[in-house]
A and B are shown apart, each in its own frame.
Chain A
């Protein structure tokens, strides 16, 4: 067992885990942050996507021991960060995904929403093809991606001050 010191969702956490464990395993099975999902465990599906120093990364391919000193954000970190910044409700990405029907089974969506959050942090006004591109590492089997893209476009429109975009209230 290895004792690791990780920075996750703003907290400094000390955790013991086998030295060969991936970041995904440590998050899910040691820290109880089960919002990050495992769909393939080999970097194909993107369900385990987390933000490492702000960039989307596949937690199943990151050795946990190499993630010390890096800032890790999981899906559980979005809402508290939004509240800490003075926001209400969930992060606008999470809220838009809910309103637009982007969450069917929901299993791929934590990773998808973090990819979307990273995109919008980098580029607040992405084009539709930039959205498609940014989400292309996250497989979804339910939606056909249409309502996911609508959700991201809803975030963009609402951040720019546009009104009702047609989803649930």
Chain B
């Protein structure tokens, strides 16, 4: 880590924070509240054409021919493109470029993009799609990951063989890592628990459907406004596929209507609007229907998991052995990372003396999976935390005690080499234990009602920058004008989590200006320094640190200029509350505006840049940097459920969630992230399922069929913030957006066991599964007087 990235975790001007840590409005809150905020589909440009996509009706097929001539003849149609117009492959991970903007030679799932039309309006474009003639030769469709693993042909992707010459078949990625002698550790354990667990597919369902608008100027500048959470990677992918220099491409993220990982790949629509704008010379918009968003997916990977964990008689874990089969769907997306994350992110907060995981991601002919909030690690966390509950039961221990006993501590290293800095995990355990009245209620509630606990950790970004480079992961540029206004330019993608607001809070804190005098310009590749994007919970940590870095440089100049004017030491100058103050002379004060003007006169036009890069982190082995984070967040959940033994219906009534996010820069936003995470995770247990039918057709691509919770479906959520204050986070902050999702799922599973004595291992927990498990119980386990 460069010295520039270390700023300490305290307030910039002594003891107290003025802005940070207090409830604040968001910089874009009132614009969103009044309907002024502009999202991608709100942009309308003169002469704009509308584009639509033709999609594959086959799960797996070769394309024999495409005839677009009739579509082109339709009045109002301006261009039709196919895969032949953009044959260069891309992928968000540079090592696995296996996607085409439009299908080349074959299609790999029902909904795969085949052709695109630009026309005067959407109705005309839709009519033109019906006139495109495509001849397919259907191939065997793989819908089950076991079959894709067992049967290499027909290969869904034409992959290079491995180094030893063996074909890869339908395996997308395989990772096998072992830390210590796991077999000996488990064989020598006093108690061993072993079981199969499975996690189904779920999807993000941001309420804003994906949309992009492109223009191509006469002098060859391409501009794309897209609902993306990764402007920088979209710019790179557009350059690659369209064979344009990156310097001629501007990507802007307008206000974004939710993402959760579902907008973190470059997508077909972005290439299509760009190409169609280049061909027609007119602005082109493409707005996906809700149905298309379901096909695009990139949601949570279904995983089949086998876990074996050993422990000593007194409850110390000896080893964990995991074998995971991951259903990747039809493309790689982030799959390389997913496969690593499925093992690498499990090694805390419970200490694992030995650990092995063997994860295999396979391709299937289904909508492609990708990163959804808690990327790759929510599924293993479910299995492992349920297994811990089973272990506690076998040991006759309180599961909270088991977790306390095995906590890996602070400022330590995990078995796979991840550096842990601050950890408030024990405080998180204490809080949920106390608030849920665990000691008085766990195992003591009436039959049908139960409590369950689970815990987890998550990354605050990682030191893996997706494409290898030594440049900063986050950059900030500040400009100061004579009015006293400061503008911060950040590549960071505000996807609703409030990253632009965090930048503004930090600028106000550091430079002493009123929050209303900070503007944030974000996620515009023409204007802003690079930030890698809103994924891996990296933005607050990295963009926050970069902002502090830039502010410290700027304030040094301002303080020096003011000190010279007042003839005092620079250390005697304070900026705060819109004023410059002198610590040694209460008479000396001026508006910060005048301080900026003095500095501009003394130095030059005022501005500063700042950046952040991670220190060298991770284990010294292949893949050791994937999942290596500068700081980890920690979470605990206790869930209270009611299980109706007549209908098999599980209702989660209340969730207590304590989350260690380091310093909470704005507690309102942190609570919003905790509550949103809990709600999303809880719904994955009992409501949501993203699947296909026996033909590979999406089982219900609408918000009526894919049931996300309404306001009457959510549990009561008590969100509690634990502030462990990290030594390297901005003012000690860590992540809050993804960690609090993980352990709510196993907490509910464990609560179901407390309620009715059944162990459910296979998500989602449908009434049918509950009733079957109740029926399968040993008679002795059934409570006296139970009807079942």
Contacts and interface: CB of A to CB of B under 8 A. Distances in A.
Chains A and B are bound partners: yes
Interface in A72-114: 74-76, 78-79, 90, 94-95, 97-101, 103-110, 113
B212 to A, nearest CB: 15
Contacts of A106: 28-29, 32-33, 37, 255, 257, 496
B433 interface: no
B785 interface: no
Contact of B672 (A28, A137, A143): A143
A104 B496 CA distance: 4
A108 B207 contact: yes
B721 to A, nearest CB: 13
A148 B711 contact: yes
Contacts of A139: 207, 703, 708, 710
Contact of A149 (B28, B669, B711): B711
Nearest to B718: A146
B717 A105 contact: no
A37 interface: yes
A32 B38 CA distance: 11
B2 interface: no
Dominant SS among interface residues on chain A? loop
Given A40-B290, A101-B669, A139-B710, A107 B207 contact: yes
A167 B34 contact: no
A81 to B, nearest CB: 12
Contacts of B41: 28, 34, 38
A56 interface: no
Name the residue among B28, B29, B676, B679 with the largest chain A CB count within 10 angstroms: B29
A98 B33 contact: yes
Interface stretch (A41-49, A63-71, A155-163): A41-49
A107 B258 CA distance: 7
B26 interface: yes
B290 A107 contact: no
Contact of A39 (B32, B44, B209): B209
A106 B28 CA distance: 9
Nearest to B716: A146
Contacts, number: 186
Interface in A121-152: 131-133, 135-149
Nearest to A20: B123
B671 A105 contact: no
A121 to B, nearest CB: 18
Contacts of B123: 18
Contacts of A90: 30, 33-34
Contacts of B702: 40, 42, 44
Given A104-B496, A146-B717, A98 B25 contact: yes
B32 A79 contact: no
B518 to A, nearest CB: 15
Interface in B26-48: 26, 28-30, 32-39, 41-42, 44
Interface residues of B, number: 58
A107 B711 contact: no
A20 to B, nearest CB: 9
A22 to B, nearest CB: 13
A140 B207 contact: yes
Interface in B7-63: 23-26, 28-30, 32-39, 41-42, 44
Contacts of A144: 675-680, 714, 717
B183 interface: no
B205 interface: yes
A149 B497 CA distance: 19
A101 to B, nearest CB: 4
B704 interface: yes
A96 to B, nearest CB: 9
Nearest to A147: B672
A104 B737 CA distance: 12
Nearest to A106: B32
Interface string B309-342: 0000000000000000000000000000000000
A167 B23 CA distance: 6
Contacts of A33: 35
Interface in A6-40: 18, 28-29, 32-40
B290 A142 contact: no
A130 B302 CA distance: 37
A75 B35 contact: yes
Contacts of B679: 143-146
Contacts of B209: 38-40
Name the residue among A36, A40, A94 with the largest chain B CB count within 10 angstroms: A40
B323 to A, nearest CB: 33
A40 B703 contact: yes
A44 B704 CA distance: 6
A168 B23 contact: yes
Interface in B111-154: 123
Contacts of B274: none
Contacts of B42: 28, 34
B712 A133 contact: yes
Given A33-B35, A35-B34, A110-B35, A101 B712 contact: no
A144 B714 CA distance: 7
B50 to A, nearest CB: 10
A94 B617 CA distance: 45
B33 A166 contact: no
B498 interface: yes
Given A95-B33, A144-B714, A42 B290 contact: yes
9 contacts: A18-B123, A37-B208, A41-B290, A76-B36, A105-B495, A106-B32, A132-B712, A167-B23, A168-B23
Interface of A: 18, 28-29, 32-42, 44-45, 47, 74-76, 78-79, 90, 94-95, 97-101, 103-110, 113, 131-133, 135-149, 166-169
Given A29-B44, A41-B290, 8 more contacts: A40-B703, A76-B35, A98-B29, A106-B32, A107-B206, A109-B33, A146-B714, A168-B23
